[in-house]
Structure 1
Amino acid sequence: MFVRELHLRDFRSWPQADLELGPGPTVITGRNGFGKTNLIESLFYLATMRSHRVGNDAPLVASSKTSALVTATVENNGRELTASLQINAEGSNKAWLNTSPQRRPRDLLGVLRTVLFAPEDLMLVRGDPSDRRRFLDELVAQRGPRLAAARSDYDRVLRQRSALLKTAGSALRRGGSDGASVLSTLDVWDSQLADLGAAVTAARIDVLNDLRPHVVGSYAAIAPHSRPADLRYRSSAGDAVLPADDEPADPEHIASVLLAELARVRDKEIDRGLSLVGPHRDDLDLILGSETAKGFASHGESWSFALALRLGSVELTRVEGIEPVIMLDDVFAELDAARRRKLVEFTAGAEQLLITAAVADDIPEQIGGRRIRVELLEEDGVRRSVITGVDDLGSLGPGSEIVGSLDAVLDGSQELSGESGTLSS
């Protein structure tokens, strides 16, 4: 699988970008803040329906604009699909597949499969449970729209149930019909939360069981002298939700466990006005030896574990019969020589490898391919990213060119394809 074309309109710092890509490595260089990561982020969003940097869509839309457009043409085993996503600063997004409107943006899930490794991945080891939940949910979402729908529906029910809990205490104190109505409504929300929560939990457990051996093996290869690594799902409803001996998760069993636990903690939830049980409170334990990595792992062990999680994700996708697009966002500057070497060895066979770096010298010399340079221009107080050149044009094939030039942009006599660079091959 590889991205053949990427087109952006009003996405973050890019008023316009038109890139023709291809198999093999592509390295995007530019100083921090120049917009190179935004290119990677747009593809990751298209693959997962979420950003790896922000929790809502508004920052993805260029200043003073109401929407951004991301379009990518993806080739997979000779089959070509073009996915387009309109990201709105407010309101629902819109999606198209081969110019045909889709009912929901998540219908695009599965068109592009990616694995992104970024400096933020250190938070998978050292950060909050929400970082690790997001990691699992991204893997689940890329398996298709149906599994992603369960999480979306769960979040909707969770918001409504939590809003009820905030008012339940005062209603119960008033008693009478108000109290009875609250309890009856809460019973309905408990049932829906348990059913949808079971679907989310089961999908996470199943993807974790598939992922686990790949992460264990990757960590052992990266850090052969460290303690052995392992992964374990930790549910807010207790170990009763977990299947035995890596068996597939049973959603019906999980739903019954969640429902019983919701009943047990109901008084506490009403007192606190919070939903205390469900996949929104779960965690992924990253284990080194007999201890959880968070709080006990050294800096080197933490980076090794973060890297192993991403490399394991690549192997998981390959086992499913898909060669994912591997994206490395400014990570070589964060790794020591040994981990750089392991990463280079592992990604050498990638069908498509997209790399960003602030300094070209951070990229190991074994990595060939093309080099795209990105600059940030400011005119009348408006900052915008542009593509200013390509190194090693011969690797792009005959007729390759960059349309426009930096000098022309700087003197105002010519735009790079309107407002940005256009790379063609």
Structure 2
Amino acid sequence: MHLRRLAVADFRSWEDADLPLEPGVTVLVGPNGAGKTNLVEAAGYVATLGSHRVATDAPLVRRGAERAIVRATVVHHGRELTVELEITPGRANRARVNRAPVAKVRDVLGILRTVLFAPEDLALVRGDPGERRAFLDDLLVSRFPRYAGVRADYDRVLRQRSALLKTARAGGDLRTLDVWDGHLARHGGVLLAGRLELVAGIAPLAAVAFAEVAPTSEAAAARYRSALGAGDELPATAAELEALMLDELARVRRQEVERGVCLVGPHRDDLELRLGDGPAKGYASHGESWALALALRLASYRLLCADDVEPVLILDDVFAELDTRRRRALAGVARTAEQVLVTAAVPEDVPEGLDGTRYTVGRGEDDGPRSVLTGPVTSELESVAGRSS
């Protein structure tokens, strides 16, 4: 799988850009703030319908514009599809595939698959459980796009059930709570089953990858931790997990009503990361934390490759954060990938062997501060300098 073309309009700092791409390595080099990360963020958005930098779509639209457009042409097994996304804050986004509108924006999921490693990934180890849940769900949807609907249904039910619980203190009517328990358990059981299967596949790959990039550290391990119990102790089927959730919801009903919050479900779970006998969070060194984050991304890449869908590998300004051994390990994987997009502040940050096609992102001064992208193409791509890359 590879991108043949990536185009944006009014996306982040870019007013209008159209970037041709080929299999192999493409490097965007330029100072922070020039807009290089914004371009690879657009590619990641096509794959996940989300940003690795912000939680909402509003910051993705260039200041002063009403909407942003992202267009990507993807080649997979000789078949070419062009995805176009229209991002409009405050309104429903729209999508087209080969110029034909699709019923739901999430119908485009699976056309492009990416694995993106960025400085923000340190939060996978040091951040709160929500960071790790999002990592699992994004990877789950990347492998099996149908889970986008499962996650959306679960989130909708969770919001409605939580709102109902909040009315309890004011004497609200809770007669429908049993109904919402059933909906939450049904969707939660499916989502939980998917996560458990995913962790069973990625955990051993992450352990191997960590040993490769941090051979002198203690062994790393990843285990799913649920309010229902440890992941390796839970049943595998959605129906059995649904039954367990219903039992647990009944057990904590009084606590939920008193506190006005939903205490059971995948939204309370975590991916537990360990080094040796202790938790990684709070105990891993800075280097070990980076190595563990890198191991999770490398494991994601290898898991997707095992599904016979080699994703586009995006390395966003990460080599400067890694020591020599980890740079070498990541570069070794990148050299074997069908397509790699790399951003770096200076050419020296890009390891040998990842030269590929190189573009320079700089700034001009015509019509105010502007960025220009120059490289082995005849057309010049310009952007209005905006949010830092």
TM-score band by shorter chain is over 0.9
Tell me: CA distance 1:240–1:302, structure 2 relative to 1, closer, same or farther (3 Å).
closer
The answer to whether the 8 A contact 1:241-1:253 is kept is no
Residues 278-307 of structure 1, C-alpha deviations (whole Å, 9 max, x = no match): 111110001111111111111111111111
Contact 2:164/2:174, CA 8 A, preserved across alignment: no
Distance 2:163 2:229 in 1: 25
Answer yes or no: is 1:229 the counterpart of 2:220: yes
Residue 270 of structure 2 is aligned to residue 289 of structure 1: no
**Is the CA contact 1:35–1:374 (under 8 Å) kept in the aligned structure 2?**
yes
- Residue from 383, 386, 392 that aligns with 2:372: 386
- Provide the rounded CA distance (Å) in 1 between the counterparts of 2:106 and 2:231: 31
1:315 and 2:306 aligned: no
Instruction: Please state how far the C-alpha of 1:375 moved relative to its aligned partner.
Output: 2.6
Q: Tell me the residue number matched to 1:205.
A: 196
Are residue 143 (structure 1) and residue 143 (structure 2) matched?
yes
Equivalent in the alignment of 1:337: 324
**1:10-409 residue pairs with structure 2 within 5 A?**
10-171=10-171, 182-239=173-230, 242-243=233-234, 249-376=236-363, 385-387=371-373, 389-390=374-375, 393=376, 401-404=377-380
CA distance in 2, matches of 1:279, 1:143: 19
Shift of 1:27: 0.6
Structure 1 stretch displaced more, 4-13 or 204-213: 204-213
CA distance in 2, matches of 1:6, 1:243: 43
CA contact (8 A) 2:115 2:314 kept: yes
Structure 1: which amino acid aligns with 2:302?
Answer: E
Q: CA deviation at 1:144?
A: 3.4
Render the CA deviation track for 1:357-407: whole Å, top value 9, x for unaligned: 1111111122121111113456777x65431x11xx3xxxxxxx3324xxx
CA drift at 1:18? 0.1
Q: CA RMSD in A?
A: 1.7
Contact 1:219 1:304 in 2 (8 A): yes
Number of aligned positions between the proteins: 384
Runs (5+) with no aligned partner, structure 2: 385-389
Q: Distance in 2 between matches of 1:185 and 1:385?
A: 56
CA distance in 1, matches of 2:146, 2:371: 36
Which letter does structure 1 place at the counterpart of 2:221? Answer: D
SS in 1 for 2:146: helix
Residue 241 (structure 1) shift: 8.4
CA distance in 2, matches of 1:228, 1:333: 25
SS in 1 for 2:143: coil
Q: Residue 184 of structure 1: CA displacement?
A: 1.7
Compare 132-141 and 161-170 and name the one that shifted more: 161-170
Aligned 8 A contact 1:5 1:19 in 2? yes
Normalising to structure 2: TM-score of the pair? 0.95
1:143 Cα deviation after fit:
2.0
Matched AA of 1:223? A
Q: Does the 8 Å CA contact 2:141/2:148 hold for their aligned counterparts?
A: yes
Q: In structure 1, give the amino acid aligned to 2:372.
A: V
Whole-Å Cα distance in 1 between the matches of residues 336 and 268 of structure 2?
Answer: 38
* 1:70 counterpart letter in structure 2: V
State the partner residue of 2:9.
9
**Following TM superposition, by how much is the alpha carbon of 1:339 offset from its aligned partner in structure 2, in angstroms?**
0.9
CA distance in 1, matches of 2:363, 2:229: 51
Distance 2:126 2:33 in 1: 25
Contact 1:109 1:143 (8 Å CA) reproduced: no
Amino acid at match of 1:386: V
- CA deviations over 1:185-239 (Å, ceiling 9, x no partner): 1111111011111111111111111112211111111112211111100112323
For residues 116-146 of structure 1, the C-alpha deviation after alignment (integer angstroms, 9 at most, x for no partner) is 0001111101110011001101101112331
Q: Which amino acid aligns with 1:63?
A: R
Task: Pick the structure with greater CA Rg.
Answer: 1
How far apart, in 1, do the equivalents of 2:331 and 2:311 lie?
16
Identical residues among aligned pairs (%): 53
Q: Distance in 1 between matches of 2:215 and 2:116?
A: 24
CA distance in 2 between counterparts of 1:385 and 1:253 reads 55
TM superposition outliers: structure 1 runs of 4+ over 3 Å? 239-244, 376-381, 383-386
Q: Residue 272 of structure 1: CA displacement?
A: 1.6
Q: What is aligned with 2:387?
A: none
SS in 2 for 1:183: coil
- Offset at residue 24 of structure 1 (A): 0.7
**Aligned partners of 1:148 and 1:384: how far apart in 2?**
38
**Residues 133-174 of structure 1, C-alpha deviation per residue, up to 9 Å, x if partnerless?**
0110110111233111100111111111111111112216xx
Partners of 1:12 and 1:38 within 8 A in 2:
yes
TM-score, normalising length from structure 1? Answer: 0.87
| Alpha-carbon distance change, 280 to 9 in structure 1, aligned in 2, over 3 angstroms | same
